[in-house]
Amino acid sequence: MEPNNRAEAEMLGFSFKSSIINKASDDQLSKLGRGWIWANKGTIDHLKTCIAEKGWAVTPGRWKDGWKNGSEGQFLGSSTAFLDFDGGVSLTTIVADPFIQESAAFIYTTASHGKKTGDRFRVVFQLDQQVHELDKFNKVIKGLKKLVPGSDDAITGVSCLFGNTRAELIDFKATNRLSIDNCLEEYKRHFSPKQRIVKNHSCQANDMFEKNENKTLGNLRGWLDSIPSDSYEKWIKIGAWIKSVSLSEDISEEQGLDLFSEWSVQNYIGEKNRRNDLFEIEKTWDQLNGGTYGLTKIRNLHFDELAKRLLSKSKITE
């Protein structure tokens, strides 16, 4: 498939690792966040070649300096999206879905297809517009999962998908594009603040900031940008701290969840505990009560003092 015009050609592309063929070794898994190469203006046909002919690992996003996770990762944009199915839905059902027929670019079976119970495959979409913010892209994926139920909850904008040199390919119309707006509308329909229920909480961080939602969000994001999510204990404490801010109504709970998700994914270091898994992040967020960080001790501190506490690794890891 060739791009229809110059503007479309400029937004095409995907990232790949030619060093990983079909399945990563343990050593390659430990270095999975580094060395991603951007296939500039790579078309859907180029993507199929990488996945099904060469068996290379791919990820939809473009990342600054090829570093796609950890505190050094910076998402620059994406023009493709993936859904992963691991036996919960049949391939026949997905192929027959009218939405898939009108929106998907192609489907390819994974290396475990036919070796384990159920059909195992991935659906690849080309977006109708490029997305430049990771938070927005993850919302697109969450909305897409609601439009096509049954896929792997762990798939996010930072997910790596392995190729398969023996893949079965199913192509759809070359003109198919996934509507970003439709996905975002579906996200809002299922994940709007009205859909979320705030539980009873043991403590709140009243009067922590001036009542300026945008200022609070900006300051929180600036603090968290330099803090790696490199331990489960720190992850929980930071999540509880953000939750306490949302409970004080300086930001909404939805904004708090988005901030926690953004920090968890972008600053993730390590391969365990699934701290870069949006499903795991949201499940953990719902279980936090805002008190784990010890807000009874710091709720009355001024803004600058709070910043110093948050940036102090000795305090965070206590």
- Last residue of a domain, which of 167, 191, 215? 191
Q: Do 152 and 203 share a domain, yes or no?
A: no
Q: How far apart are CA 27 and CA 31, in angstroms?
A: 7
N-term to C-term CA, the chain = 55
Q: Do 291 and 143 share a domain, yes or no?
A: no
Q: Do 21 and 154 share a domain, yes or no?
A: yes
* CB-CB contact of 203 with 244 (8 Å): yes
pLDDT per residue as tens digits for the range 214-262: 567 777 777 777 777 777 788 888 888 888 777 766 677 778 888 888 8
Flag whether pLDDT at 193 surpasses 70: no
User: Other CB atoms closer than 10 Å to residue 117's CB: what's the count?
Assistant: 8
Q: Do 255 and 122 share a domain, yes or no?
A: no
Number of domains the chain is built from: 2
Q: Do 49 and 162 share a domain, yes or no?
A: yes
Q: Do 178 and 241 share a domain, yes or no?
A: no
Flag whether pLDDT at 17 surpasses 60: yes
**CA angle (314, 278, 211) in 5-degree steps:** 65
Q: Do 207 and 116 share a domain, yes or no?
A: no
Domain, as residue range, for 59: 6-191
Q: Which pLDDT score, from 0 to 100, does residue 59 have? A: 92
Q: Do 249 and 307 share a domain, yes or no?
A: yes
Q: Do 22 and 171 share a domain, yes or no?
A: yes
Q: What is the pTM of this model?
A: 0.61
Average pLDDT, the chain: 78
How many helices (H) and strands (E) the chain has is answered by: 14, 8
Flag whether pLDDT at 310 surpasses 70: no
Q: Do 157 and 222 share a domain, yes or no?
A: no
In a domain, 1, yes or no: no
Q: Do 39 and 186 share a domain, yes or no?
A: yes
Average pLDDT over residues 49-67: 92
